[in-house]
Structure 1
Amino acid sequence: MKKTFYILSIFILCVSIQHVVHSQSDAPRLSSDCLEERKVRDEKYVKNIIQDIKSTFNLNIDEHSFWEVSKRDLEAAHLMYGGKENDSYYNSLTKIYDSGGFSEQPSLFVRAQEAFLLYKEKDNINVMKRLKLDVEKGEWLVIKTKKKKGKK
């Protein structure tokens, strides 16, 4: 009796899992045009957020004086240069980058020994963190944080 119950339970479990897998694969996929439109829309949305933050704090950050570095770019650079666990420059930047509280992925703008981390908090508060590279300590430090109400 126990064997029959056990086999029946396994059979029902397998059928249930198979149903879930098939129902997910039957979901409609987005066309390449739709995916491209979504990508363009998302990029425009993020660009508008960053422009709002720059204007809120009257920042003159352009592509000629600063490099915009995404979290993915930061991780790729870390791996390209050996991916050391005790890389204080990388660890300090990722700690600041992952400080949380933002509605969208923050944007990091970097030049020689200065950087700005810009993001919008969930309640539409624009945040600007000014960072400075402390060569003696071998890490990035937040030297100033400003918050102001931004556009929705």
Structure 2
Amino acid sequence: MKKIFYILSVFILCVSIQHVVHSQSDAPELSSDCLEERKVRDEKHVKNIIQDIKSTFNLNIDEHSFWEVSKRDLEAAHLMYGGKENDSYYNSLTKIYDSGGFSEQPSLFVRAQEAFLLYKEKDNINVMKRLKLDVEKDLR
């Protein structure tokens, strides 16, 4: 009797697991139009956040005078220029990107000898970090 109960229990368990797996794999996928709309919406949201931060700090950052660098761009540039393990500039920037605590990925705006890192913290506080290249350090 115990064997029959045990076999029946295992059978029921297997059938219910199979049902759960199949019901998850049959979930509808988003259409390409929906995915495109989501992408556009997300990009607009990020632009609005950056514009809010710029206006909070009265920053005059435009695409003609600054170059916007994503974390992926930063990693690619690091690899292209040798990928030094002890690159203090790269390490400090990636540390900021990896620290978390912000609602969206930070945006890095760069021009010669100057950069701004802009982001909004999770508690809705706008943050602007002004970065300056230490030329003296590079000459040593």
State if a TM-score over 0.5 links the two structures.
yes
Q: 1:59 to 1:20 in 2, by over 3 A?
A: same
- The answer to whether 1:96 aligns with 2:96 is yes
Output one character per residue of 1:94-129: Cα deviation in whole Å (capped at 9) or x when no partner. 123334321111111011111111111122211111
Provide the rounded CA distance (Å) in 1 between the counterparts of 2:5 and 2:133: 66
Provide the rounded CA distance (Å) in 2 between the counterparts of 1:73 and 1:6: 58
Contact 1:113/1:133, CA 8 A, preserved across alignment = yes
Partner of 2:23: 23
Contact 2:97/2:105, CA 8 A, preserved across alignment = no
Q: 1:8 to 1:81 in 2, by over 3 A?
A: farther
Equivalent positions of 1:3-152 (< 5 A) are: 21-137=21-137
Q: Secondary structure, in 3 states, of the residue corresponding to 1:136?
A: helix
Q: 1:9 to 1:49 in 2, by over 3 A?
A: same
Q: Which moved more, 1:31-40 or 1:123-132?
A: 123-132
If each structure's strand is expressed as a fraction of its own residues, which one has the higher value?
1
Shift >6 Å, 4+ stretches: 1-17
Length-normalised TM-score, structure 2: 0.79
Percent pairwise identity: 96
Q: 1:13 to 1:77 in 2, by over 3 A?
A: farther
Provide the rounded CA distance (Å) in 2 between the counterparts of 1:28 and 1:92: 42
Q: 1:4 to 1:74 in 2, by over 3 A?
A: farther
Contact 1:97/1:117, CA 8 A, preserved across alignment = no
Unaligned ranges ≥5, structure 1: 138-151
Q: 1:13 to 1:67 in 2, by over 3 A?
A: farther
1:73 Cα deviation from its structure 2 partner: 1.3
Provide the rounded CA distance (Å) in 1 between the counterparts of 2:85 and 2:11: 47
Provide the rounded CA distance (Å) in 1 between the counterparts of 2:11 and 2:80: 49
Provide the rounded CA distance (Å) in 2 between the counterparts of 1:10 and 1:2: 12
If each structure's helix is expressed as a fraction of its own residues, which one has the higher value?
2
Q: How many equivalent pairs are there?
A: 138
Provide the rounded CA distance (Å) in 2 between the counterparts of 1:77 and 1:49: 26
Unaligned ranges ≥5, structure 2: none
Q: 1:24 to 1:65 in 2, by over 3 A?
A: same
| Structure number with larger C-alpha Rg | 2
